[in-house]
Structure 1
């Protein structure tokens, strides 16, 4: 008898499909989808603080999706201030440094969040760093 033989009849050998094996039941699939939604739904509270002659926002606290890049904060603030892409706008974390546009907001919050906020200072001329 060879491997795969059952009572004289040969059972077809199939290669396991890891994706199919990983998600075999609807329950597992639903858990994966709900975990993905929870991850995407995580928000970080960003507090904007004007520096120098930068216009002051009426509302200073905003919730931004944690999985977005810092560039999204820049674009959001430009929209709120009605600033064109050609106008200078400098953003800093905790009055200390300007993060790279591809930094993930949740990582910045974990490292530099204070009092439950990610403090973003903004100005129209270079101030720090």
Structure 2
């Protein structure tokens, strides 16, 4: 059955191509694809019995997903993937791993920093 399939066609549907906005759409996609070169200052604060980092201020690429921040904290604390780690923004909520650092910073920055609290046990619901 696999031999009967037509090769994948990467061209735009004729209805889209007829509008002449193709270059504008391609430019928008290219802009979206570029990573933000800006950096965000992130302040890490331990909560409860979590070990304290030696340095608590770091600059992180704004285009990174929050998952990269979680992995960074794990590396700094030498925490294994199976060890519990809970992260919060401003002692208020746990962001989704696919949130971008830039969006979190724009919405929740305090004194020019994004404050990330971390804990080994669930601190807030």
Same fold by TM (over 0.5)?
yes
TM-score scaled by structure 2?
A: 0.73
**Pairwise CA RMSD of aligned residues?**
2.2
The residue that corresponds to 2:66 in the other structure is 70
1:115 equivalenced with 2:106 (yes/no): no
Task: Trace 1:25-44 onto structure 2 (pairs within 5 A).
Answer: 36=34, 40-44=36-40
Paired with 2:68 and 2:44, the residues of 1 have a C-alpha distance of 14
TM-aligned CA deviation for residue 53 of structure 1: 0.5
How many residues align? The count is 101
TM-aligned CA deviation for residue 41 of structure 1: 1.7
TM-score scaled by structure 1?
A: 0.71
The residue that corresponds to 1:4 in the other structure is none
Moved over 3 A (4+): none
Deviations 1:23-51 (A, max 9, x none): 9xxxxxxxx99xx5xx5320000000001
Paired with 1:73 and 1:99, the residues of 2 have a C-alpha distance of 11
Paired with 2:90 and 2:77, the residues of 1 have a C-alpha distance of 20
The residue that corresponds to 2:57 in the other structure is 61
Paired with 1:48 and 1:54, the residues of 2 have a C-alpha distance of 11
TM-aligned CA deviation for residue 92 of structure 1: 0.2
Unpaired stretches in structure 2, ≥5 consecutive residues? 1-19
Paired with 2:114 and 2:58, the residues of 1 have a C-alpha distance of 10
Unpaired stretches in structure 1, ≥5 consecutive residues? 1-15, 24-31
Deviations 1:56-111 (A, max 9, x none): 00100001000110000000000000000000000000000000000011000000
Aligned residue among 54, 59, 80 for 1:84: 80
